[in-house]
Chain A
Amino acid sequence: MRLIVEHTTVYTYDQPVRAVVQSHRLTPSRCDSQLVESWDVAVSNGIKGGGFRDGAGDWVQGWSVNGPVSRVEVTVTGVVVTNDTAGVLRGLRESVPALAWLDETAPTRPDAALRALAEGAGDGESLALAHALSAAVAEAIAYRPGSTHAHTTAAEALALGEGVCQDHAHALIAAARIRDLPARYVSGYLFADTGGKPHEAAHAWAEIWIEGLGWIGFDPANGCCPDERYIRLGCGMDAQGAAPIRGIARGHGAESMEIAVAVAAAQQ
């Protein structure tokens, strides 16, 4: 598919701040399932900082904005040609060993319920087990926007029984790691022809390491593996580590944020 992305994030401060510094993971991964035709990230009044490819293969780009500033707009526009690799991540150059993704973080810390879910997913070989875990998470956490927030943990979402893609991904990562499968959080975009139904165009899913195959994407929120509708941006131990934008303002202004994301399919 040829996907057109328009993604705008606007930060406003109720009183001007002295400066804003951001770290972006906003560039599509260099992997076999996607080819960037054009891609542009702009930050209003921003000064481009250092950029580099990190150990997980993501392009990380620093930005700073000098104040006083009360509004920062980050605009992403681009066209990516995608193809379906059945969820298998190929061609990404990375230097972090898979094992390092077994560690736990606060939002993915297991509790008894997560352990029970993970242990209940059968004794299949790794790939079958990963599919079973993904299905179990989808079953246990219903998609319901607004039921959770940015800091909800996997354990909390599971207890609640509802959540959004971030919660699905966290729960699946936690469950996979319990079963000694390295797992990580992936942020990106999703094109969905939903016939007008709401969906999450700014999307997140999980990747699970299967010995012999490599990283495989699993999207419990949609009950599938990523295909040509998905654009992969970057990964991390959890939502915070994989966040497309991490930023901080110097000053006392309270921040509010608005996001608009549109992913459209171009005429072939």
Chain B
Amino acid sequence: MSTYFNEMKSGGNVRLPYASLQDWVEAMPAALRNLKQAEAEALFRRIGITFAVYGEGGDPDRLIPFDMFPRVFTAMEWHRLERGIKQRARALNAFLCDIYDRGEIVRAGRIPARLVYLNEAYEKAVAGFRPPKNVFSHIVGIDLVRTGPDEFFVLEDNCRTPSGVSYMLENREIMMRMFPDLFRTNRIEPVDHYPELLRRTLASVAPQKCDRDPNVVILTPGHFNSAYYEHSFLADMMGVELVEGQDLFVEGEFVWMRTTEGPRKVDVIYRRIDDAFLDPLCFRPDSMLGVPGLMDVYRSGGVSICSAPGAGVADDKAVYTFVPEMVRFYLGEEPILQNVPTWQCAKADDCKYVLENLGDLVVKEVHGSGGYGMLVGPKSTKEQIESFRAKIEEDPDNYIAQPTLALSTVPSFVEEGVAPRHVDLRPYCLVGERIDLVPGGLTRVALREGSLVVNSSQGGGVKDTWVLAE
């Protein structure tokens, strides 16, 4: 395991940002640790943070495992990440504005036309429409992995409705409650202003026809959704209403919300439902989750929808390959954050290589998420590899492959004590009138020894993520 970059220790020495944690963990007796772990769990239960896991039987509402050992970035490390993340978020939005307008990047031959216009997530319904402030993706979740002191790679972009930010906030809250001393002895950048920044971001993209302080709401598919807790948490923290489709209706040129004092106009909808379900008069006619007529109001400037319908093209796993090109094309800059080299099985040469090297690669479905339907070659049995080979051969367009990355590790509390476990990072970049990024994000950790899959649906846990002040 020495080939993996350990974020706390390099060559037997403790790296500076972790110095105080070394003392902290050494001074903590096992009994206290167990007590604290139980306390953390009780807190999460009380708050009600659970997530739904499908297809594994048992109670679908589970507690996400919380690991108390924080992950730490120096101010310098973060500074570079921040520039890279913001750069990427700007490029992704420029791309979306372009492909729904003149499509210059396609005309210039920098990305294949079919990949864009025949993409499942491309919405003809918004072609020619410019959302307020030219923003399609207002919350860009960029998944990063680290392989060395200065080596960061973008694993994927999430331009629709990335979830998990409630964990970032709750992890911090709980750490501060349980270990107040840590926050006195370390100068840790706060993250608790995220909800206010999110509210400001959403308000800043109020539609053309809004002439007052915008009324922002969160639209949820309902309590059976796996991220429902987050929807209600964010509504609470922002001080805005949490609504379901049936609470909203279209009358005249606007969208209205039913309240006990009568209808109230809605200006900005932060939706946590997919495009297909937004409006049965425009998309799936059988959708009961959306608001009939919403898209007509949206396209005539009566309401804003965040993220904008159609934003999904930018986070498609095949489009991902072209994001560095977007940075160069729209911003005239070199990408600060690198992509993971990706083979597209849709290309014959790539596919051949992938099939010959399945044992060494990670293979993903183009539209998959949540760690479902993927193959981690080095961790798979022969049968698993062969069954995946059959799937790829049957529908190559549906798969991409990447090298198995040597994900960095961070010490984590495990049964035997403290041991390194692999991590990734999802920061949440807010794009409205301005671009904001709170210093931190969600660190996901693969708690199973040797595992490289950090998804909560696959047994991953979470950690508090610190950015140290300069």
Contacts and interface: CB of A to CB of B under 8 A. Distances in A.
B253 to A, nearest CB: 5
Question: Most B CB atoms within 10 A — which of A60, A62, A100, A103?
Answer: A62
B280 A248 contact: yes
25 contacts: A21-B249, A22-B281, A48-B252, A48-B253, A49-B251, A49-B252, A50-B253, A50-B297, A50-B302, A51-B300, A52-B296, A54-B299, A55-B129, A56-B127, A62-B296, A62-B300, A94-B128, A95-B128, A97-B117, A99-B117, A100-B118, A100-B122, A102-B118, A246-B282, A250-B249
A259 interface: no
Contact of B103 (A22, A48, A97): A97
Contacts of B250: 21, 49, 62, 64
Contact of B281 (A23, A66, A96): A23
Contacts of A19: 249, 251
Interface of A: 19, 21-23, 47-56, 60-62, 64, 66, 94-97, 99-100, 102-103, 237, 240, 246-248, 250
A95 B301 contact: no
Of B100, B101, B124, B129, the most chain A CB neighbours within 10 A belong to B124
Given A62-B293, A66-B251, A250-B292, 9 more contacts: A49-B252, A49-B296, A51-B300, A52-B299, A54-B125, A56-B124, A62-B250, A62-B253, A62-B296
Contacts of A55: 100, 124-129
A53 B281 contact: no
B212 interface: no
Contacts of B60: none
Nearest to A101: B124
B46 interface: no
B113 interface: yes
Interface of B: 100-103, 106, 113-114, 117-118, 122, 124-129, 249-253, 280-282, 285, 292-293, 295-297, 299-302
Q: Name the prevailing secondary structure of the A interface residues.
A: strand
A72 to B, nearest CB: 14
A49 B293 contact: yes
A247 B285 CA distance: 10
A179 to B, nearest CB: 16
- Top 9 A-B pairs, shortest CB-CB distance: A50-B300, A55-B127, A62-B296, A95-B128, A21-B293, A55-B128, A100-B117, A248-B292, A23-B281
B300 A49 contact: yes
A184 to B, nearest CB: 10
Contacts of B101: 95
Contacts of A103: 118
A235 to B, nearest CB: 10
A20 to B, nearest CB: 9
B113 A23 contact: no
Contacts of A99: 113-114, 117-118
Contacts of B113: 97, 99
Contacts of A237: 124
B252 A47 contact: yes
B267 to A, nearest CB: 14
Given A54-B127, A103-B118, A23 B252 contact: no
Contacts of A97: 103, 106, 113, 117
Nearest to A98: B117
Contacts of A47: 251-252
Contacts of B296: 23, 49-52, 60-62
